[in-house]
Amino acid sequence: MKKIVVVGAGPGGLAAAMLLAAKGYDVSVFEKKPYVGGRNGRFELGEYRFDIGPTFLSMPHIIEELFTASGRNIHDYVQLVELDPMYELVFNDVKLAMTMNRKKMKEQIAAQFPGNEDGYDRFMNENERKLQALAPILQSKMDRLYHYLRPSVLKALPQLTLSQSLYDVLSRYFNDERLRLAFTFQAKYLGMSPWECPGAFSILSYMEHAYGIYHVIGGLNEIPKAMARIVEEYGGSVHVNTGVRKLWLDGTTVKGVILENGEKVAADEVIINADFAHAMTNLVDDGVLKKYRKEKLQKKKYSCSTFMMYVGINKPVDLAHHTIIFADDYKRNVDEITKEKTIPHDPSIYVQHAAATDATVAPKGKSALYILAPVPNNTSGIDWEKEKEPFRRKIWDTLSKKLGWKDIDKYIECEKIITPHDWENDVFVYEGATFNLGHQLSQMMVFRPHNEFEELHHCWLVGGGTHPGSGLPTIFESARITANGILQAHRQPLIPVGALPKRREA
C-alpha cells in the first residue's frame, strides 16, 4: 500500500487526503494547529461560534463530486442551505439585494439603474459560454508550456480577455459605477483590485448568479471536518497539534517529513497544503530550491491581507447573512490597499451575520458578527500593534454610519481580532497575504507553482498557492488535480471530472 503524507489539514489537503484514502492509499495528515481546516477552521468565543476564514460557498457541485468520488454523499455529513438574497451590497446612496433569481435581479436593476437590465442578460449569457470554455483549464493540470496547445485550452484562450481588466470587462455590460462594482468586487476573493485583476475572472460573479451561494449549518468548517472524518473511515489518520518541521530530503527527492518532535515519517508521496511561500521558506533548507528560493519568493506579487473582527453581540441584529459595505470612493480604497499599501481612510467592510440563517452560531436573541476589512499585506511595514485599536474604532464608526447602528459597542460580550501580523505569525501565512500569491497572469496557470511541484520529486501541492488558484471551489479543484496526478503516476484509475452543470434559473 502506497503511503501518502499531507502537510496541513486545510480544505485542499483534506480533500486530496479523502480522495486518495478512498482509493486505498495509506494517508496521514499532519496539522500544526489544534484544529482541522487551516484558514477554513473554526473557533468559539464563549457561546459564539465563528469560521476563521471562508464564509462564502459557491459551486457546491464540486464538493458533491469529490464526496461521491470518495464513495460518500456530502449531504450525509453536512447541511447546505441556499441563501436568498445571496448578499446585500451597501453603497452610500443605494442598497442592492443580490439574488440568483434572474427575474427579480432584472427587476431590481431596472428600478434602480434603468437601462442596465439588458446588460445583465448579456453578462449572464456571455459568461456562461466563458465558464464553459475556461472550465477545462480550471479542472486539469497546467504545468508545461505545451499544455497551452491542448485543443480545449486553445479554445479557451480568447475567453481570457488578456488585454482587459475585470473592471473593463464589466464596463461592457453596465454604465453605472455601482453596478459595475456589484459584479467586480469578487476580485477581493483573490485579494486583488478589479482594475488590475484579469478580465477572465468575470466568471466569479457569474458563478454566484448561476449556481447560488450556500451556507453550511454550523459553519463552513463542517466541510473539512467531514473530510477528516472520511479519511479516518478509510483507515487514514489526521494528527492535529503535530507540526512538520522539515521535508525529509535526499537531494531533491522527498522521502517523507520530519515532525517537530524529530520523528521521521516516510512517504511515497508528500502533499503540501501549507501556505506555499511559507512552506518553501521554512520546510526546505537553503540551497535546495532555485526557482522558488527565498530571494525569488520575496519578489513575487502577493494578495492583500485582511483585518478580522469576530464579535459576540448581546442583541439581535437586523442584517442579511452576508453584507458588503463599499467605501464612498472604492477605487481610492483599493489603491490604498494594493498600490500605496496604507491603512484605508474609508474602509470597505464585509459583515457575516450567520445567525440570520443558522441558530447554532449564537444563543437565541444574540448575534455572532464576522467583520472583515481588506488591508495591505505585511510588505507595507504597517505596525499593527500600534494601529490595531484606531483601525478597530474606524470600522465601528463606519458600521454605525452606514448601517445606522447606534451604540452597538454597549452590547459587545466578546471580541477577537486578527491582524495581518497575526495571519503571518500565528496562522503561518507568508506576509499575511490571506489570499496567497497574486493572480496576475504572470502568476497563473503554467506560471503558478505546479500541482506536481517542479523543484522536488514526489512532492505535490494543493491550495490557493498552486493551480488553479484561491477560493474554495478552485482549492477543491486543486485537490482533484493533484490526486489525479498521483493516481496517474501510479497508473491507477483517475477521479472523474463531471460536466459543468447547467445554470439554474431560480
Q: Using the 3D structure, point to which of 189, 211, 233 is the last residue of a domain.
A: 211
In a domain, 89, yes or no: no
Q: CA 156, 207, 222, 314 torsion: positive or negative?
A: positive
State phi, psi for 37 to the nearest 5 degrees. 120, -25
SS3 call for 307: strand
pLDDT at 440: 86
Are residue 195 and residue 223 in the same domain, yes or no? no
Q: What is the 3-state secondary structure (H, E, C) of 440-470?
A: CHHHCHHHCCCCECCCCECEEECCCCCCCCC
Considering the domain architecture, whether residues 413 and 312 belong to the same structural domain is answered as yes
Do 308 and 395 lie in one domain? The reply is yes
Lowest-confidence region among 186-195, 237-246, 461-470 = 186-195
Task: Average the pLDDT over each of 23-32, 98-107, 187-196, 430-439 and give the range with the smallest value.
Answer: 187-196
> Do residues 293 and 334 share a domain?
no
Average pLDDT value for the chain:
93
At 299-350, the pLDDT tens digits run 999 999 999 999 999 999 999 999 999 999 999 999 999 999 999 999 999 9
Q: Do 478 and 457 share a structural domain?
A: yes
> 61 and 28, same structural domain?
yes
pLDDT the model gives residue 160:
65
What pLDDT, on a 0 to 100 scale, did the predictor assign at position 154? 67
Claim to verify: residue 200 and residue 225 sit in the same structural domain: no
In a shared domain, residues 398 and 454? no
In a domain, 319, yes or no: yes
Whether residue 275 sits in one domain with residue 372: no
Is pLDDT above 70 for 245? Answer: yes
In a domain, 105, yes or no: no
Q: What is the pLDDT of residues 347-362, one digit of tens each?
A: 999 999 999 999 999 9
Question: pLDDT per residue over 453-473, tens digit each?
Answer: 999 999 999 999 999 999 999
Which CATH number covers residue 308? 3.30.519
Bridge pairing between strands 244-250 and 48-51: unpaired
Give the CATH number of the domain where residue 27 resides.
3.50.50.60
Model confidence at 144: pLDDT above 80: no
**Per-residue pLDDT at 46 exceeds 90:** yes
Kindly indicate the confidence band of residue 18, based on its pLDDT and cuts at 50, 70 and 90: very high
pLDDT at 145: 60
Residue owning grid cell 442579511: 320
Assigned C-alpha cell, 269: 508521496
Final residue in a domain of this structure, among 163, 194, 211? 211
Average pLDDT over residues 100-118: 94
255 and 186 within one domain: no
The sign one gets for the Cα dihedral 59, 151, 468, 126 is: negative
Give residue 444's pLDDT: 87
How much of the chain exceeds pLDDT 90, in percent? 83
The pLDDT value recorded for residue 192 is: 86
Q: How far apart are CA 176 and CA 425, in angstroms?
A: 41
pLDDT digits (tens, 9 = 90+) for 385-414: 999 999 999 999 999 999 998 888 889 999
Residue 459 in any domain: the answer is: yes
Nearest one of 392, 408, 410, 390 to 400, comparing CA atoms: 408
CA of 182: how far to CAs of 187, 403, 416, in Å?
11, 18, 29
Q: Which domain holds residue 340?
A: 304-430
What is the mean predicted confidence (pLDDT) over 493-505? Answer: 82
Taking only the tens place, the pLDDT of each residue in 292-309 is: 999 999 999 999 999 999
Has residue 88 been placed in a domain? no
Q: Does one domain contain both 358 and 451?
A: no
- Residue 107: inside a domain: no
**pTM score, whole prediction:** 0.95
Does 146 score more than 60 pLDDT? no
Model confidence at 445: pLDDT above 90:
no
From 211, 241, 266, give the residue that closes a domain: 211
Instruction: Name the residue among 479, 501, 417 with its Cα closest to residue 139.
Output: 479
pLDDT over 60 (residue 6): yes
The dihedral built from the CA positions of residue 223, 219, 97 and 203, taken in this order, carries a sign that is negative
CA distance 296 to 447: 14
Whether 96 maps to a domain, the answer reads no
Average confidence (pLDDT) over 75-99: 96
Partners of 374 in beta bridges: 306
**Is residue 151 over pLDDT 80?**
no
Helices (H), 212-329: 222-233, 276-282, 294-298
pLDDT band at 498 (very low <50, low <70, confident <90, very high): confident
Q: How many domains does the chain have?
A: 3
Q: Would you say residue 196 lies in a domain? A: yes
Strand partners, 425: none
Asked if residue 289 and residue 363 are part of one domain, the reply reads no
